[in-house]
Each structure stands twice: as structure tokens, then as C-alpha cells.
Amino acid sequence: AQKVTQAQTEISVVEKEDVTLDCVYETRDTTYYLFWYKQPPSGELVFLIRRNSFDEQNEISGRYSWNFQKSTSSFNFTITASQVVDSAVYFCALSARNAGNMLTFGGGTRLMVKP
Amino acid sequence: EPEVTQTPSHQVTQMGQEVILRCVPISNHLYFYWYRQILGQKVEFLVSFYNNEISEKSEIFDDQFSVERPDGSNFTLKIRSTKLEDSAMYFCASSAEGLASTNTQYFGPGTRLTVL
């Protein structure tokens, strides 16, 4: 069985603050993929990043960065200098080789960025 | 940029009625999926489809659900006899390859199903 936990259900920050969204996962597979998706108020799911289990390099894309640590089974997401447009629900998800192609989602973190 | 499309955006139906949700996956993708999200809750996997057959399905995907690829572009989810608890946002997704490679699933905008 696989599981994704996003302990923070809701975070509120003021614009320009940095914010980190936590994600902890469980899987017995040694080959797996981790994802972050953004769900803005309009409701669609927007792909942000994919990480392979054998690649622990951190990644930065503009104001977004991701910290993958296998030792703690975590895949955290940091937004630097947050903006109001970052307000959304963010989902962490996992797919593992022996679980087929299905994505297992965490419960999501609602991020509210206030001006 | 290619994207997954879904119709209708919102469907209202009476309990016990059949509904068909439609999706057009990204054209060169081979794997198709349906997920649902009950309001305010997490996104849950329903079913995956490859090579004209179901490859995985969850416990939610019981006998009242079915999927079909009726032609080269559409991918449908049918709910035979809707229940109140089927009210949710239904997302279609597609990916170019399976887990062995990239397996990034791209999602459509969703169909909000309301069962009265």
C-alpha cells in the first residue's frame, strides 16, 4: 500500500513571504515517482513537477523549489517570495512501480497568500 | 500546447439516471485515467486504461462504472445509476507512457457532477 500525507491542511502567509509545503510518503517500492500539482480556485489540476526515486537532486524553477529526501521520505515544496496568484490547493502525489500507474494523492494543503 | 479536454464542465442529474462524462486525451498519449474529487477532499483514483482495456481500478470503481474508448479520440466514463454520493468533480488524465518511463499525468479541467 502507498500513502501520502500532507500534514498542513491550510497555510496563510502575507505576500513576499517564503512558504514551505510538507509532503511525507510511504511506499514499499524502490522505484517510484513523486509529483506536485496545483489546484487554483478555478478547479483544474496543474502539473508542477515530477521526481524519480533514484534522483535526489533538488530542483529550482523560478520561485519554486523542491527538496527530496529519501532518508525521511519527504518531498517538500517551497515557494519563495509568495504572490497572491500562488493562492491554491497544492497536492503531493505518488506513483509506484508495483502499484500500477495510479497516482495516490495527499489530502492537499490550501495556501492563502494575502496582499 | 496540447491539453486534455472534458465535457460537460457541469452536469446535473437525478438520482438513478445514467450519465456519461467525456474526455479527449492528449493526442499522442496512450494511457488514460479517471479520478474523482468529492468537494473539499483529496483526489482519488478510479481507473486506468491502456490498449483498449482496464489496467487498474480502485475499490470505488464498482459495477456501476464503466469506461470506453469509442473512437480514436474520446475516452468516456459512464455511471449507470447515479447515487447522491457520486456527486464530485471527475477528472480525466492522460500520460504518454507508463510507469517505466515518464508517466506524468496531465489532467483535464474536470466535470462537476451534481446528483439530486
Cell of B2: 496540447
Q: Is A97 helix (H, G, I), strand (E, B) or coil?
A: helix
Contact B22, A85 (CB under 8 A): no
Nearest to B99 among A37, A97, A104 (CB): A97
Q: Is B104 on the interface with A (CB under 8 A)?
A: yes
Q: Which of chain B's residues have a Cβ under 8 Å away from the Cβ of A93?
A: 43
Report CB contact under 8 Å: A47, B107. yes
**pLDDT tens for each residue of B52-100:** 999 999 999 999 999 999 887 899 999 999 999 999 999 999 998 765 5
Question: Which residues 20-59 in chain B show a CB within 8 A of chain A?
Answer: 31, 33, 35, 41-45, 48, 50, 55-56, 58
Q: Is A49 on the interface with B (CB under 8 A)?
A: no
Residue B81 DSSP label: S
Cell of B59: 475499490
Q: From the DSSP assignment, how many helices (H) and strands (E) are in chain A? A: 0, 12
Best A23, A27, A37, A101 residue to mutate vs chain B (most B CBs within 10 Å): A101
Other beta carbons within 10 Å of B106: 20
Cell of B45: 483514483
Give the C-alpha separation, B69 to B30, whole Å.
11
For residues A6-35, give the mean pLDDT: 95
**pLDDT tens for each residue of A23-69:** 999 999 888 999 999 999 999 999 999 888 888 888 888 999 999 99
Give the C-alpha separation, A56 to A71, whole Å.
10
Residues found in chain B: 116
Q: How far is CA B59 from the centre of its chain?
A: 15
Chain position carrying cell 524553477 = A61
Chain position carrying cell 517551497 = A78
**What pLDDT, on a 0 to 100 scale, did the predictor assign at position B99?**
55
Cell of B32: 488514460
Q: Of A15-24, A48-57, A93-102, B105-114, which gets the smallest average pLDDT?
A: A93-102
Give the C-alpha separation, A74 to A23, whole Å.
6
Nearest to B45 among A31, A44, A102 (CB): A102
Report CB contact under 8 Å: A91, B43. yes
Give the C-alpha separation, A92 to A61, whole Å.
17
d(CA A7, nearest CA chain B) in Å: 13
Percent of chain A predicted with pLDDT > 90: 77
Q: Is A104 on the interface with B (CB under 8 A)?
A: yes
